[in-house]
Amino acid sequence: MTQQTALNAAHRRCGAKMVDFGGWDMPLHYGSQIEEHHAVRRDCGMFDVSHMCAVDVIGRDARPFLLRLIANNVDKLKQPGKALYSAMLNETGGVVDDLIVYYINDTKYRVVINAGTTEKDLDWMGTHLVEWKLDAICIPRRDLAMIAVQGPNARARIWQVLPETRTASELLKPFFAVTVGDYFVASTGYTGEDGFEITLPASKAEALWQALFAAGVKPIGLGARDTLRLEAGMNLYGQDMNEKVSPLDAGLAWTVDLLAARDFVGKAALLATPQQKQFLGLLLLDRGVLRAHQQVVTPQGAGEITSGTYSPTLQQSIALARLPPGVKIGDTVKVEIRDKLLSARVVKPCFVRNGKALI
């Protein structure tokens, strides 16, 4: 049976088309994926992201545990609320999952992991806690729900509905979070737009959803979430990376700290096998649609699209791709689509941010 978030009934009342997503019954769209996409870029929209799992890592050894568990360095987190994006790696350097870590204090961190990998991740974390004999526990917070509100008007709408959060969140920088009563308000979005992710007790989620809806915030489904994140050049686990792909080949070298003396799972493999592929963007110049797994033909060798879609903002087809060394931004390459070789331009893997085209 698929699992349901606390907002399942609210989605159905809004006329959502529901689909199975990583074992969860989630809204794909509420009528028009394109309109939902534009709503986030031009105004604001809200996403139910309660299928993702917040895990509280608590204990004397919480920091030593995370120092060994993830590729980025949690020693960078010194200010309460500061967040860090990284990945858990396996011994061969592949990505077990990508995640966000929030620093609460020296003995408490909050880690947000992906829905489809939750059980695998919890097993991975628990196994290493036992193996390393560390004094910490990992508590999955299924009592919580998460609502992301994104777009140029997102903050104003949130403060309209939750005025008590304004003082604490008004000066919140990107990749920070603050706790205000029952609300954990974070600025770690997945759309390339401004806004907050609000974690709160699941019992209060529907009331907040309805209040935001009454304030004019449009519900947004998984379809528009995917086109928004791809326009913003953000990776999706299972498509742009997985257990067989190094973060160095997935455009995530910036989330890996190989310089500090600390050891972490997968470090030896990354040092032994440097980056093999570049992670770049593609803009299709001919008529067609770029999709995952299409082959890319370049003078330097073969590449592959990892994520592709039609961009509603640019009104062109775009993609993220792993390409051979030597391919440069501005080059024209060929993509094999239905036995035809179509032309595409290589671009920086960020197409749209804050409602503006970057290419």
Q: For the chain, what percent of residues have pLDDT higher than 90? A: 100
Four-residue CA torsion sign, 169, 175, 180, 182 = positive
Query: Around Cβ 106, how many Cβ atoms within 10 Å?
Result: 12
**26 has a pLDDT exceeding 90:** yes
DSSP string, 185-220: EE---SSSS-EEEEEEEGGGHHHHHHHHHHTTPEE-
User: Token match 């792993």: residue?
Assistant: 322
Residue 107 reports pLDDT greater than 90: yes
Look at residue 76 and tell me whether its pLDDT is greater than 90. Answer: yes
Of the chain, the percentage scoring pLDDT greater than 70 comes to: 100
pLDDT of 279 above 90: yes
Q: Residue 63: which pLDDT band, with cuts at 50, 70 and 90? A: very high
User: pTM score, two decimals?
Assistant: 0.97
Average pLDDT, the chain: 98
User: What is residue 1's predicted lDDT score, i.e. its pLDDT?
Assistant: 78
What is residue 169's predicted lDDT score, i.e. its pLDDT? Answer: 98
Tokens of 141: 């917070």
Q: Is residue 75 scored above 90 in pLDDT? A: yes
Residue type for position 178:
V
Residue 209 has pLDDT above 90, yes or no: yes
The closest alpha carbon to 177, from 229, 100, 253, belongs to 100
Strand partners of residue 54: 112
C-alpha span between 186 and 230 (Å, rounded): 21
198 Cβ contact list (under 8 Å, min separation 6): 146, 147, 148, 149, 158, 162, 183, 184, 185, 186, 208
What is the rounded distance in angstroms from the CA atom of residue 2 to the CA atom of residue 184? 27
Mean pLDDT score, 294-322: 98
- The predicted model gives 226-246 an average pLDDT of 98
